[in-house]
């Protein structure tokens, strides 16, 4: 920003210098003054053009950042192929709603929020204490049926083990609001300290 201001000030100074020299050129009518007037104009024009270019670049960068930030709020990035990215950690906090303690790692996530219905999948390692915090925070109730997995609504990833999920105790929460149903599901593998969180609406 400071560089841009300096360039604008320099362009104005050379423009004023050009006008002053041009006036003296008409009065004195000398070749050297005419050359100085042309040079000062070219310098002023060049600095002004560069300042305009720099200003447009800064404006473009700012616009891209604002647009990216706005899009990120509506359509957050989910990295389904790489664990523990900043985006995945941010989504973990926004959806799973517990602190990322040292035991929480290998966070993978995926979203399918295009269209009327949306679903969000999270897989991660954590200890049983963190698993209990998740269950309590979301008011999840233990299901009477093991697995209780709506796998037809889920997507296939190497980190989402549907077969294993079907063998685990499931915890769920359901709500209906304005004719739309919201669901949260959670499974925890005590042996491997592996958790699966699934949130969707219909």
pLDDT for 18-38, tens place per residue? 788 778 777 877 778 778 878
Residue 190 lies in a domain: yes
> pLDDT per residue over 34-61, tens digit each?
788 788 788 878 888 888 888 788 777 7
Query: What order do you get walking across the sheet with 180-189 strand by strand?
Result: 105-112, 119-125, 194-201, 180-189, 170-177, 141-142
pTM: 0.65
Range of the domain at 33: 2-72
Residue 58 lies in a domain: yes
Whether residue 173 sits in one domain with residue 116: yes
Tell me which of 31, 47, 72 is where a domain ends: 72
Whether residue 94 sits in one domain with residue 39: no
Whether residue 195 sits in one domain with residue 108: yes
Helix or strand run (H / E) with residue 27? helix 2-28
Query: Count of domains in the chain?
Result: 2
Whether residue 190 sits in one domain with residue 90: yes
- Take residue 165 and report the two structure tokens written for it: 């999920």
Whether residue 123 sits in one domain with residue 30: no
- Take residue 109 and report the two structure tokens written for it: 């996530």
């Amino acid at each position: 920003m400071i560089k841009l201001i300096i360039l604008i000030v320099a362009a104005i100074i050379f423009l004023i210098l050009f006008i002053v020299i041009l006036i003296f050129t008409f009065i004195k009518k000398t070749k050297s003054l005419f050359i100085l007037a042309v040079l000062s104009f070219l310098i002023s024009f060049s600095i002004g053009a560069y300042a305009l270019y720099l200003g447009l670049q800064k404006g473009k960068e700012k616009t891209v950042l604002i647009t990216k930030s706005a899009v990120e709020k509506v359509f957050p990035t989910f990295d389904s192929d790489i664990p523990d990215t900043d985006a995945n950690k941010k989504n973990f906090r926004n959806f799973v709603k517990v602190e990322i303690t040292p035991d929480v790692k290998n966070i993978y996530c995926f979203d399918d929020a295009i269209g009327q219905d949306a679903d969000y999948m999270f897989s991660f390692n954590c200890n049983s204490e963190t698993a209990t915090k998740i269950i309590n925070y979301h008011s999840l109730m233990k299901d009477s049926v093991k697995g209780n997995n709506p796998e037809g609504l889920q997507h296939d990833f190497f980190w989402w083990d549907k077969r294993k999920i079907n063998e685990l105790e499931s915890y769920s929460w359901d709500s209906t609001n304005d004719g739309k149903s919201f669901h949260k599901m959670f499974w925890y593998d005590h042996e491997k300290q592996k958790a699966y969180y699934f949130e969707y609406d219909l």
